[in-house]
Structure 1
């Protein structure tokens, strides 16, 4: 895909986030969207080599819509300023839908690439099951966290939205008590988006493969 063109388009959209500009530039959007879809197709094929379940992912459904949901938002701008996709075995992107572990990435208007793996804000029943798995198999959880590739690329699990104390039913002095407080079990990394499309694809593939230990552990929950 034409990475430079995507960055330029998103930067201009951020400056002109209105329907009139979007409609005027719809041909540009359609071309970039098609190229982004092609990248997702390549990623599904590559990920399927170490995670065969991803072969079931529908690439078109993996892409997020560029339209923002403004129903409950104070910021009344109609369009997102990034292109994004989430690859899951179920084909469901949103955690609230029970999508399960996902490989996620986006490119934003500032030219930043973010890629991630895991489950972001899963629904209550799913989150409780994940926490219980940590308690039931603390050794397995520790082994996953210490995976060399996972640590090299991501470090530790992200702590965004972490509780100040363990949730009800979980002891404060139990195994991995600090991880029990997490609302998401996910890793992510940010960097400037590579200028070359082949390098971008290779970067994402390497990042997703390094996130596989966490994805695999979550699949067992």
Structure 2
């Protein structure tokens, strides 16, 4: 994957986010997307070595479309300014679909690489199931929180946007009370990959491996 070429394309796209520019530069996009697809294919192959359920992921369906859904958006710009993909055993990569634990990454116009693992903003029924799993498997959840590789790479579960009070039906739950308030059960990290583009694939794969304890625990719900 030519990260610098991708970053340059996305940077120009962010300054010329319109159909006319995109159509004129579509040959560049097609080449970059083909490279990105090859990267995803290799990641599927490698991830499946420690997570066999990923082996059947369709690489083309793992890629997100660059076209934005503008129906419910105030920003009327037609294209995303990042390339992204999600590896999910269910094949349902959108959080709203409730597809379960997912490995996700994207590269943006500034050359920043975001890598994540877990479930981001799952639908209400799925979120409730995860919260109940926290209470029913306190020892297993505590083991995830203390996993050395997960903590070293990600610093622990992300706690942005959590509830100020326990959700309805959940009272004081002792040491895990704060985690019951979470709306997402996910770890993520952002890296300036443009500084070392040759390490892109290895960096993503290593982070995915380190997120495996959370992915595995979430699969038990």
Instruction: Say if 2:153 is the partner of 1:149.
Output: no
Deviation >3 Å, runs of 4+: 194-198
* Secondary structure in 1 matching 2:115: strand
Other-structure match for 2:89: 89
2:47 and 2:208 in contact (8 A); partners too: yes
2:136 aligns to what? 136
Q: How many residues align?
A: 221
Give the Cα–Cα distance (whole angstroms) in 2 for the partners of residues 194 and 25 of structure 1: 22
Residue in structure 2 matched with residue 170 of structure 1 by the alignment = 170
1:172 Cα deviation after fit? 2.6
Q: Is 1:53 aligned to residue 53 of structure 2?
A: yes
Distance 1:195 1:28, change over 3 A: farther
Structure 2 gap ranges (5+): none
TM-score when normalising by structure 1: 0.97
Q: Distance in 2 between matches of 1:24 and 1:172?
A: 58
Q: Which moved more, 1:2-11 or 1:93-102?
A: 93-102
Range that drifts further, 208-217 or 198-207: 198-207
Does the CA-based 8 Å contact 1:116-1:189 persist in structure 2?
yes
Aligned in 2, Cα 1:97/1:173: closer, same or farther, shift over 3 Å? closer
Matched-pair contact (CA < 8 Å) for 1:165–1:172: no
Q: Deviations over 1:7-50 (max 9, x none)?
A: 00000000000000000000000000000000000000000000
Q: Which structure 1 residue ranges, 5 or more long, are not aligned?
A: none
| Separation in 1, partners of 2:188, 2:66 | 21
- The separation in 2 between residues aligned to 1:144 and 1:192, in whole angstroms, is 27
